[in-house]
């Protein structure tokens, strides 16, 4: 029969075992809670950054009197992307009043390097103004890499649907270098419906059907054979649109 000392030692052992179990359980719960809190904070920060960028198309940008186009665009770049040194202007800034009567437009493209994907996208925007002071920002599109980043070859206006207004046409190219298989360029035409200032839309409408008519073309040497792209200039694209009856 166990003596009183043995019974007491067993009781103490059981008590310590219970306390150790409770301590470890609480520690694990606290750890999980901490991780969840950190993850939630991270999500909030990321979503906030995205929201800031998306909301930039809903505000008016003021151009100061006699302000040159480069510093004006730089201000907008900083508003869109912050002071990120990886962001740079991809194509010569275009300023024109030849699209819609009474309105001035600034067309700009930015190179965006994505460290996570190790790739470079190009984002295009239009700034529309009635008085060359207050500008509304409209997203054109994002042009993704095809092996390499997109190059903006040409930007012009041409009728591409049944109304009288001209559409925005962008010709992109991508350098292709594949050892022993292909070397040259890909070309693709992107056509967007005419902008209607009274609608205050934040993104141009991509015209899929007419854009697909021009398809993606390759020019260069592929598996020892030479290929020539048919639509690689504004001249050839405009002629084709005329041939289609536009």
> What's the pLDDT at 208?
97
Contact 140, 170 (CB under 8 A): yes
pTM confidence score: 0.75
Q: φ, ψ for residue 35 (rounded to 5)?
A: -60, -45
Q: Which of 237, 92, 212 is nearest to 156 (CA)?
A: 237
Encode the chain (246 residues) as per-residue pLDDT tens digits: 444 444 444 444 454 454 444 444 444 444 333 332 223 332 322 233 333 344 555 678 999 999 999 999 999 999 999 988 779 999 999 999 999 999 999 999 999 987 776 779 999 999 999 999 999 999 999 999 998 999 999 999 999 999 999 999 999 999 999 887 889 999 999 999 999 988 878 999 999 999 999 999 999 998 889 999 999 999 999 999 999 999
Q: Token pair 């536009």 is at which residue?
A: 246
Which run of H or of E encompasses 176? strand 167-178
Q: How many CB atoms lie within 10 A of CB 120?
A: 17
Domain boundaries, the chain: 1-58, 59-243
Closest Cα to residue 184, out of 220, 153, 231?
A: 220
Burial of 136 (0-12, 13-18, 19+ CB in 10 A): buried
- SS3 (DSSP) at 68: coil
Cα gap 141→189, rounded to integer Å: 13
Neighbouring CB atoms inside 10 A of 133's CB total 14
Instruction: Please answer whether residues 186 and 146 qualify as being in contact, where contact means their C-beta atoms are separated by less than 8 angstroms.
Output: yes
């Amino acid at each position: 029969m166990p003596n009183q000392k043995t019974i007491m030692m067993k009781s103490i052992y059981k008590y310590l075992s219970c306390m150790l179990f409770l301590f470890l359980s609480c520690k694990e719960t606290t750890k999980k809670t901490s991780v969840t809190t950190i993850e939630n904070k991270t999500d909030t920060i990321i979503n906030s950054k995205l929201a800031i960028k998306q909301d930039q198309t809903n505000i008016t940008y003021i151009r100061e009197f006699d302000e040159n186009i480069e510093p004006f665009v730089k201000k907008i770049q900083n508003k869109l992307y912050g002071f990120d040194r990886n962001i740079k202007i991809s194509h010569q800034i275009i300023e024109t009043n030849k699209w819609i009567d009474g309105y001035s437009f600034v067309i700009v493209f930015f190179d965006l390097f994505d460290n996570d994907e190790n790739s470079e996208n190009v984002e295009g925007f239009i700034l529309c103004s009635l008085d060359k002071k207050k500008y509304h920002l409209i997203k054109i599109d994002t042009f993704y890499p095809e092996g390499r980043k997109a190059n903006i070859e040409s930007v012009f206006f041409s009728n591409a649907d049944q109304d009288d207004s001209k559409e925005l046409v962008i010709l992109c190219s991508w350098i292709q270098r594949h050892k022993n298989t292909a070397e040259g360029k890909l070309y693709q035409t992107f056509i967007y419906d005419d902008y209607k200032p009274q609608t205050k839309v934040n993104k141009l409408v991509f015209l899929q059907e007419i854009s697909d008519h021009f398809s993606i073309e390759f020019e260069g040497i592929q598996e020892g054979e030479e290929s020539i792209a048919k639509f690689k200039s504004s001249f050839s694209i405009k002629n084709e649109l005329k041939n289609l009856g536009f």
